Structure 1
Amino acid sequence: MLAKGQTVIQYMEQLAPKHVAEEGDKIGLQLGSLQKEITGVLVALDVTDEVVEEAIAHGCNLIIAHHAIIFRPIQQLQTDTPMGRLYEKLIKHDIAVYISHTNLDVTEGGMNDWMAEALGITEGVAPLKDIHTERLSKLVVFVPKSHHQQVLDAVLNAGAGWIGNYSHCSFNIEGYGTFVPREGTDPFIGEQGKMERAEEVRIETIVPLGVRAKVIQAMLKAHPYEEVAYDLYSMDLKGRSFGLGRVGRLKQPVSLAEFIETVKKGLQVDQVRVVGDLNRTVSKAAVLGGSGGKFLQSALFRGADVLVTGDIDYHTAQDALMAGVALIDPGHNAEKIMKLKVAEWISGKLGEHKYATPVFASAVNTEPFRFQ
């Protein structure tokens, strides 16, 4: 059985929820439709003509990419321009394009965690720069005692009940609920026109915004009543924070020269640009996929000895040299580490649910620079 497009994206958004992306980021479905069976998924860093040809060769009708193909509003669509021809080819072959960008960067177990792991940043790992703090609600629902555990399990397993590193947190109070079933009802307990007094349990738990719809859906599905009595309260308490980049300590100090070799191997690049004394000691490192030069001050504030990021400009390099922070620039394309990781995630989720849709990690090298 092939998975529907919405099903594939549901799994993708479990990994990288859209609500944690930077404001204004170009994410989500950018071209095509998800209202179809997916014959194959191709995971790519960029969507180029070669990547589209690869999707066609594999029989894929969905590309999940990290970098957007539409950055600003399109005033006209001319198919005699390079981008116009790309859009035309995608449309003619019914290939949808879905983008997961900064939401994949910041999420736990996403891009920057993969990069940190590849570089051996394993101790005291934290975001380099917080950009999003999750909003919390309190859910209160009243359940008949006979279905208390069923409903409680449903909401907690859907993602409610997290407080810090504690999961499945709830508070439960027994009491009595009253109601009169009116004409046209089909009550689970009681009779039409008669006051009913039912033994019920009040369940209270915390619900993060990102899973609120999923929790409510699970609650309603598990609850036996026709009309479910529940409340959602907004809270001033802050939930989890999500941030760009990662910073943390290496297992043991190394020289900058040694760390450079770790970067090359971990991010699968042949060459890097470097700022700093190759003999200096590196104990604490920061990494940020993509263009991260503007986060130099964050790395300095966090006490990093070196910042690994792409697209470093001349003046940022000078600032780092003066501040005594080393820089390693492996290029923007180092984010290609996401292709295999995302493909493995989606493939695993589809396999768990017995879907036969194949998932491929793009083998196309989209690095635009060549070194002579």
Structure 2
Amino acid sequence: MFAKGQTVAQLMEQLAPKHYAVEGDRIGLQLGTLSKPITKVLVALDVTDAVVDEAIEAGANLIIAHHAIIFRPLAKIDTSTPAGRLYEKLIKHDIAVYIAHTNLDVTDGGINDWMADMLGIAAEGRTSLEEVHTDKLYKLVVFVPETHGELVQQALWNAGAGAIGNYDSCSFVIEGTGTFRPGANTDPFIGKQGKLEQVKEVRIETVVPHSIHRAAVQAMLKAHPYEEVAYDLYPIDLKGRSFGLGRVGKLEQPTTMGELVERVKAAFEVPYVRVVGDLNAPVKKLAVLGGSGAKYVRAASFAGADVLVTGDIDYHTAHDALADGMMIIDPGHNVEKIMKQRVADWLAARLAERKSTTEVVASSLSTEPFQFV
């Protein structure tokens, strides 16, 4: 059975939650409808005329891309313009376009983590360059019969509740007595209609991040034996986990600038890079940021990085970096192409778990606008 478009979008939002996006970023459905079965998904970096032709030839009716096709509100769609013709072709062939941009950069296991992994930044101690989102925390309190306390606790932990810093499975349990009287039209797990009951119960308290609070509550309700569950969920004034753009951390193996340049070229399959700095200089700590990273050079320096690997560095930023003793490797904006196969593989695996027959393929086209001559 083919997955509905809404299902595909929901799965993508598991990988790259919308609330991780930078404010004002154009993400989500940009053209077409998700209220239809999706036969095939094409994952691309950019939605160009050639990519749309590729989708048509492949029989794809949904394109998931990293870069938006609509950046600002449209006053009109003029089909005599390149953009208008692109929209017209997509609509005529009933191809929807869904965008995952900065939310895919920020998320765990997204573009910036993939770049960091490929260049050998150690996972331990790895942090972001600029905070974008901090998960709000809630306290979840639920009352459970003693016989089911551990079952409900485990369900909450499996859903991601109970994490405090580097500790997991955190909770507090108090024993007590619960009272209730089942009314008419009830089917009580314990007790009888019209009779006051006193039951040995436990009060379980745990911390739940906003990003998973709905899933945690659903897991708790599913594991709980009562048909009417007594629980509270309220915000607490504690800072949760932060998510951000870029990554910075120590290299698993220190290297030199020259060796790192060759590593970057091989990892991202680029023939040339632009380099700011001494090729013989040692490199112990590295920062990466997919896309345009000129405005993050100072953040990388402040984080103690020896080198920043990012795209679209301008002349004056390069001079400022040299003056500050900061080295840069610019392999271009197009290195974000690494998202194509990785997103396609992740989404295909999630759809397979649902027994869906929707296919997912990565675009085979290069959308690099520059030639190297």
Which TM-score tier does this pair reach, normalised by the shorter chain? Answer: over 0.9
2:190 equivalent in structure 1: 189
Q: CA deviation at 1:320?
A: 0.6
- Secondary structure at the aligned position of 1:172 is classed as strand
Q: Which structure 2 residues correspond to residues 69-148 of structure 1 after superposition, within 5 A?
A: 69-122=69-122, 124-148=125-149
Kindly state the Cα deviation for residue 333 of structure 1 after the two structures are TM-superposed: 0.6
Q: In percent, how many aligned pairs have the same letter?
A: 67
* 1:6 match: secondary structure: helix
Measured after TM superposition, the shift of residue 30 of structure 1 is 1.8
How far apart, in 1, do the equivalents of 2:62 and 2:262 lie?
Answer: 36
Structure 1 residues 200 and 92: CA distance shift in structure 2, 3 A = farther
Moved more, 46-55 or 346-355: 346-355
How far apart are residue 64 of structure 1 and its match? 1.4
| Alpha-carbon shift at residue 105 of structure 1 (Å) | 0.8
**Uncovered stretches (5+) of structure 1, i.e. residues with no partner:** none
- The superposition leaves residues 70-92 of structure 1 with CA deviations (integer Å, 9 ceiling, x where unpaired) of 11111122222221222222222
Q: Structure 2 vs 1, CA of residues 58 and 153 (structure 1 numbering), >3 Å: closer, same or farther?
A: farther
Partner of 1:23: 23
Cα drift, residue 294 of structure 1: 0.5
- Between the aligned partners of 2:185 and 2:80, the Cα distance in structure 1 is 62
Which amino acid is 1:289 matched to? G
**Aligned-partner residue type, residue 354 of structure 2:** H
Is 2:292 the partner of 1:291? yes
> Per the alignment, in what secondary structure is the counterpart of residue 43 of structure 1?
strand
Larger deviation, residues 241-250 vs 290-299: 241-250
Matched to 1:9, the amino acid is A
The one-letter code of the counterpart of 2:119 is: L
Does residue 1:224 correspond to 2:232, yes or no?
Answer: no
Q: Distance in 1 between matches of 2:202 and 2:36?
A: 42
Distance (Å, rounded) in 1 between the aligned partners of 2:68 and 2:150: 44
Q: How far apart, CA to CA, are the structure 1 residues paired with 2:37 and 2:156? A: 29
| Per-residue deviation, 1:184 | 4.0
Q: 1:144 offset after TM fit, Å?
A: 2.7
Distance in 2 separating the partners of 1:198 and 1:177: 5
Q: Distance in 1 between matches of 2:183 and 2:83?
A: 61
Amino acid at match of 2:305: A
> What's the CA shift string for 1:323-366, capped at 9, x where partnerless?
11111111111111111111111112222332222111111111
Q: What residue is the counterpart of 1:305 in the other structure?
A: 306
**1:359 aligned residue:** 360
* Equivalent-residue separation in structure 2 for 1:363 and 1:71 (angstroms): 25
Residue 311 of structure 1, CA deviation? 0.7
What number of residue pairs does the alignment pair up? Answer: 372
Alignment pair present for 1:39 and 2:39: yes
Write the letter of the residue equivalent to 2:53: E
Q: Structure 2 stretches of 5 or more lacking a match? A: none
The answer for the alignment partner of 1:258 in structure 2 is 259
CA distance in 1, matches of 2:151, 2:32: 39
Task: State whether residues 120 and 253 of structure 2, in contact with CA within 8 Å, keep that contact through their aligned partners in structure 1.
Answer: no
Aligned CA RMSD, in angstroms, stands at 1.8
In the other structure, the counterpart of 2:61 is 61
Q: Distance in 1 between matches of 2:60 and 2:202?
A: 49
**360-369 or 222-231, larger mean C-alpha shift:** 222-231
Matching residue's letter, 2:10:
Q
Structure 1 pair 199–35 and aligned structure 2 pair: CA distance change class (3 A): farther
Deviations 1:277-333 (A, max 9, x none): 222222221110011110111111112111111111111011011111111111111
For residue 320 of structure 1, what is the aligned residue in structure 2? Answer: 321
1:208-260 CA-to-partner distances (Å, cap 9, x unmatched) read 11111111222233333332211012111111111211112223333322211
- CA–CA distance in structure 2, aligned partners of residues 66 and 25 of structure 1: 11
- TM-score norm. by structure 1 comes to 0.94
